[in-house]
């Protein structure tokens, strides 16, 4: 299972009410670093599917969630546990660093 596209309509059900930790990738089509990070996020979604859910939110198509959670730049990655943000990272990062960050939070 790769990452799931989420919008403002299903953000609550897919992220806040999820039964396991959720990594949310806030991104935009026009964002170069987002495009570089996207395949890495998809790879980790497949590798970590048993312990973590990974979703992507296009900030241009779903402006409510990024506004609510204070997203100021993209890519922004947030980890949610039990409906709450537990950590945030802004900007691209290598796969190993992203993997370590996720492992340290879940």
Catalytic residues: 31, 34
Query: By 3-state DSSP, what share of the chain in percent is helix, strand and coil, each rounded to 5?
Result: 35, 25, 40
Any alpha helices (H) in the chain, and if so which ranges? 11, 32-47, 64-68, 95-105
Token pair listed for 18: 């999820």
Backbone torsions φ then ψ of 80, nearest 5 degrees: -110, 135
DSSP symbol at 69: T
Strand partners, 5: 56
């Amino acid at each position: 299972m790769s990452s799931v596209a989420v919008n403002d309509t299903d953000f609550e059900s897919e992220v806040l009410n999820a039964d396991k930790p959720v990594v949310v990738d806030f991104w935009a089509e026009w964002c170069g670093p987002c495009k570089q990070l996207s395949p890495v996020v998809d790879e980790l979604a497949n590798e970590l599917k048993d312990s973590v859910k990974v979703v992507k939110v296009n900030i241009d198509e779903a402006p409510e969630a990024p506004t609510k959670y204070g997203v100021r730049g993209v890519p922004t990655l947030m980890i949610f546990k039990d409906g709450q943000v537990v950590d945030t990272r802004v900007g691209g990062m290598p796969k190993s660093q992203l993997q370590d960050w996720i492992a340290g939070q879940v």
